Amino acid sequence: MSREASARGILVNVVDDLPQCTFIAPSIVRRGDLVIAISTGGASPALAVRIRERLEREFDESYGSYLGLIKRLKAAVTLPETQQARADAWYRVTDSDVLELVRAGKIDDAFARARALIEGPA
C-alpha cells in the first residue's frame, strides 16, 4: 500500500516502519507562538511522545501568555541602538522574574518589570 501511495504522489507515514515512510512527523508542543518539535528521525515515536509529555509539563500554557506580552512589549519600548545592547536587554527580561509574574496573573506588573529591564527606570 505504501508503494501505491508513493506512486500516486501521496505522502506516506508508517509509524513503526521507517523504510515505508516518505515523511516523518515530529511530536509537537505548542504554547501560543512557542512551538517545540521533537523528532527521533523515525527511530522511536514512543520516545518522542514521552519527551513531548515532559516538555508539556515544563513549558506550561503561561509561555503563550509570556510571548504575547513580549510581542506587546516590542511594540511599546525603545530598544537600545546596538545589536549587543538589544540582545543584553532581552536576556535581562528572559532571565528575570517576568515569566513568574505572568504565571501569577500579574500581566501589568510583568509588562512594567520587562519594560524597566529594557529601558531602565522612567
pLDDT at 3: 78
Task: Tell me the domain boundaries of the chain.
Answer: 2-58, 62-119
pLDDT at 31: 96
Instruction: Kindly list the averaged pLDDT for each block of 10 residues, start to end, along the chain of length 122.
Output: 79 73 84 94 88 96 96 92 93 97 97 93 54
pLDDT at 121: 60
- Sign of the alpha-carbon dihedral angle for 77, 69, 120, 91: negative
Instruction: Output the pTM of the full model.
Output: 0.76
End-to-end CA separation in angstroms for the chain: 66
pLDDT at 15: 66
